[in-house]
Amino acid sequence: MITTRLAVPLLASLLPLTLGLPVQAAETPDKGEVEVLNWWTSGGEARALGVLKSDLADQGIGWKNMPVAGGAGTNAMAVLRSRVTSGNPPTAAQVLGFDARDWAERGGLSYLDKVAQDMKWGDIFPQPLQDFAKYKGHWIGAPFEIHSTNWVWANKALMDKLGIEQPTTWTDFLASMKKARDAGYTGLAYGGQPWQDATVFENVMLATGGPDFYRKAFIDLDDATLRSDTMIKAFNNFRELLAYRDPNSSGRDWNLATAMVINDKALYQIMGDWAKGEFINANLAPDKDYLCFRTPGTQQAVTFNSDLMIMFKTDDTQQQALQDTMARAIASPGFQIAFSNNKGSVPARMDLPADELDACAQKGYEQVQAAAKNNTLMGSMAHGYAAQAAVKNAVFDIVSAFVNSSMPGDVAAEQMAMAIQDAK
Ligand code: BGC
């Protein structure tokens, strides 16, 4: 589906990005060049990044791409650390919540306060996001978007063919995957990498115990909640869900799992809404070709993450000006909409009209806004918004050990509680 529907000129223009090659501006930029570290290497991600690149090109600014492949930024922070340690930081880097805080604590970040004040960032970004984009009263990151992780991406044609209605309960969700499996399809397209295991598990946890349970366990890191019967139940529910994977899921990249849904091999994928970027890149339409719905049982809450662009302090006045320009561009209304329309996310700004977003994003934007008001917009553990990296990595280790063995749910819950206590 992807190759037949993608326009060739578009593909050609994105090729260097999708291959992860450095992309240089065609002409020498008169206003200088920015070097930007990111992990946006899938088709949809590269296309979204292209929006920023061309926005800056329009302003005479060149682009040097510094891609570090690895979903959820699993390799990016180590590469960034080595660049910074050797005294050669890029102009800017894509980071997630607690990592942004870490970088701010080390010092060495440019403050974006002037741009933030001019554009009234304090009024337009939701508080749970400001908690990470600001550090000790200073703005340290420009938010690209809001992603949420509790989504199901579904193949509509397959649902119709198999007579499957959109499930709203966990029981119906599993029953529909069984139907697909019985008919020879994969129920759940799954990428067996630690960050993806944790992404799916946080969905199951939220569906099993609800928002208060999620918050107490993953944000407050409350030991009793981590060891509770509800957590054991969450692991047991996860075990049942895992039965609907195909046998080749180990190590699979998330976008290849998305491609299984796109290519009529699998019924669903549970994944953050960057997965929608792959459907967009394949020129598919929501409600017509695919469905997006909140993971059954998680409808009352949104687990979110947001990519923040942090900038590194520099004495070079041209680079300083470029950093301000880039921060301003990222937060501008037009960019927030255009970027999300390619990335699959919703705008990080809460003050934009929804009519230029597609059906999934309109729904998502409304849900994010409602969740921000109801205190159910909660940070994703798998994507760096629930706890610091050491705790996140401890969760990755235990959840993946559970996925890759026959570990019983009660053992997993206890091990995770212990690992979190050690790491925090
Ligand atoms: C990032 C997304 C990215 C996804 C897959 C998430 O942590 O926020 O921007 O598309 O990982 O790499």
pLDDT in tens, 38-51: 999 999 999 999 99
161 C-alpha vs ligand 1 centroid, how far in Å? 32
Strands 186-188 and 290-294: unpaired
pLDDT of 10 reads 39
Does residue 197's CB lie within 6 angstroms of at least one atom of ligand 1?
Answer: no
- The residue nearest atom 3 of ligand 1, judged by CA position, is 72
| pLDDT tens per residue across span 86-138 | 999 999 999 999 999 999 999 999 999 999 999 999 999 999 999 999 999 99
Q: Identify the bridge partners of residue 290 per DSSP, sorted by sequence position.
A: 155, 286
- The residue nearest atom 12 of ligand 1, judged by CA position, is 71
pLDDT of 389 reads 97
**What confidence tier does 30 reach under pLDDT thresholds 50, 70, 90?**
confident
Mean pLDDT, residues 304-312 taken together: 98
Task: Find out whether 284 and 262 touch, Cβ atoms under 8 Å.
Answer: yes
Mean pLDDT, residues 282-297 taken together: 98
What's the rounded Cα separation, in Å, for the pair 237 and 212?
18
- Closest by CA position to 74, among listed 424, 400, 393, 305: 393
Atom of ligand 1 nearest to the CA of 384: 7
**Which of these ranges, 7-16, 215-224, 278-287, 354-363, has the smallest mean pLDDT?**
7-16
pLDDT of 27 reads 53
User: Considering the chain, what is the average pLDDT of its residues?
Assistant: 94
Mean pLDDT, residues 312-318 taken together: 96
Sheet holding 147-148, edge to edge: 147-148, 302-305, 377-379
pLDDT of 28 reads 54
**What confidence tier does 348 reach under pLDDT thresholds 50, 70, 90?**
very high
- The two structure tokens encoding residue 423: 């790491």
pLDDT score of 8 more than 80: no
What is the C-alpha R_g of the chain?
21
| pLDDT tens per residue across span 63-83 | 999 999 999 999 999 999 999
Q: Which residue of 196, 307, 340, 343 sits with most ligand 1 atoms within 8 Å of its CB, as the best mutation to test the pocket? A: 307
Mean pLDDT, residues 367-385 taken together: 97
pLDDT of 371 reads 97
Share of the chain above pLDDT 90, in %: 93
Residues in the chain: 424
Mean pLDDT, residues 348-352 taken together: 98
Atom of ligand 1 nearest to the CA of 305: 8
| pLDDT tens per residue across span 396-415 | 999 999 999 999 999 999 99
Mean pLDDT, residues 163-171 taken together: 98
**What confidence tier does 21 reach under pLDDT thresholds 50, 70, 90?**
very low
> What is this structure's pTM?
0.93
Does residue 45's CB lie within 6 angstroms of at least one atom of ligand 1?
Answer: yes
Does residue 99's CB lie within 6 angstroms of at least one atom of ligand 1?
Answer: no
Does residue 278's CB lie within 6 angstroms of at least one atom of ligand 1?
Answer: no
Does residue 72's CB lie within 6 angstroms of at least one atom of ligand 1?
Answer: yes
pLDDT score of 9 more than 50: no
Atom of ligand 1 nearest to the CA of 306: 8
Tokens 């992603």 -> residue: 147
pLDDT score of 13 more than 50: no
- Closest by CA position to 347, among listed 329, 332, 327, 328: 332
**What confidence tier does 29 reach under pLDDT thresholds 50, 70, 90?**
low
Task: Find out whether 390 and 79 touch, Cβ atoms under 8 Å.
Answer: no
What's the rounded Cα separation, in Å, for the pair 110 and 320?
8
What's the rounded Cα separation, in Å, for the pair 214 and 205?
7
What's the rounded Cα separation, in Å, for the pair 374 and 215?
13
| pLDDT tens per residue across span 329-347 | 999 999 999 999 999 999 9
